[in-house]
Structure 1
Amino acid sequence: MNKFTLSLKMSFFLLICLVFMGFNERISDEYTVYIQKKLAEHYDSRLDEAQIKRYELNVTNRGFCRYKRYFNSGKVEYFSFNLVKFKDLDYYGTDKSGKLYLRTKGEDVIVQTYNDKSGGDIDSMAAYMMIPLKDIEPQDLADLSERLVKMNAQLLAQK
């Protein structure tokens, strides 16, 4: 009977842990979806329209922010950082057009350049990632900042 009770207690504890982990992941997905949506919705492709063929901008539920630009010349620029390293954001511009700087605690942004005819393939690190935005209201920036901070805190707690 003791073995059965112990097994029952362990099963119950495991079930509670799984429920909490599932709930915790859902919150992270909510932040991820919001951040991804806002960045994609307000991305300003007009800035480098003549040079850039396409871009990819992703925020993953594992906490990575990735930005990749494909140039008409064949050059590819890739920026990536883990939101655990997120420090703050700055926006320079107007509500019509500007640049969003996602700053990290140190040089935590991976910067890679491929197929660059003038400099070759380059790997380096940076302290920020710059994303051009358009038609963004101050309230959207405040919400974005708040969600990034909350996601950062959640990712640190999961670590």
Structure 2
Amino acid sequence: MKKFTLSLKLFLIPAFCLILCAFSDSDSIDEYVGYLQKSFTDHYDFSQESNQIKRYELNVTNNGFCRYKRYFNNGKTEYFAFKLAKFKDMDYYGTTESGKLYLHTKGDDVIVQTYKDKGGDVDSMATQVIIPLKNMEAEDLNKIRENLNKINPQTP
């Protein structure tokens, strides 16, 4: 009986440790989302659009969505949203002082809604969201890409 108990302990302890390691996550999605929200908020460049835009909302949510809403001076509203798991790649065009971040999705995964436009309210799909940013160093962009890739389980 003692041999059986010893064998059982030798089997169960490593199995229990393996189970704990499998379900532990050193970094959580909340940390990645928090970093993205802080980066987008800190580096958003309102001056690139201030002559057209009255205000904006840019949110990265804990349930994995990026939402960007722009309110124009003429009353028009544009809304962009995509699930972060659909992130494919990103490009940055500009300088370290000012530029635009293009977040590309795997397909037509960006929801685009326009309200109070001259042509009427429009719902469509797109493949990218463009966010004006300022004071972006290469390290900042690499960290944004890294966090987006960690949220996206299909990206290596």
Category of TM-score, reference length = shorter chain: 0.7 to 0.9
For structure 1, list consecutive stretches of 5 or more residues without a partner in the other structure: 1-15
Paired residues for 1:20-31 under 5 Å: 20=23, 27-31=28-32
Q: Secondary structure at the match of 1:49?
A: coil
Deviation at 1:84, TM superposition (A): 1.0
CA distance in 2, matches of 1:60, 1:152: 14
Q: Secondary structure at the match of 1:46?
A: helix
- Counterpart check, 1:37 vs 2:38: yes
CA distance in 1, matches of 2:119, 2:43: 31
**1:15-54, CA deviations, whole angstroms, 9 ceiling, x for partnerless residues?**
x89xx4xx65x70110010000001110000011011111
Choose between structure 1 and 2: higher helix proportion.
1
Match of 2:103 in 1: 102
Displacement over 3 Å in runs of 4+: none
For structure 2, list consecutive stretches of 5 or more residues without a partner in the other structure: 1-18
**1:116-143, CA deviations, whole angstroms, 9 ceiling, x for partnerless residues?**
1x21100000000000001110100001
TM-score of the two chains, using structure 2 as the length reference: 0.81
CA distance in 1, matches of 2:124, 2:54: 23
The structure that has the greater radius of gyration is 2
CA distance in 2, matches of 1:119, 1:37: 35
TM-score of the two chains, using structure 1 as the length reference: 0.80
Read off the aligned partner of 1:61 and give its amino acid letter.
N
Identical aligned residues as a percent: 62
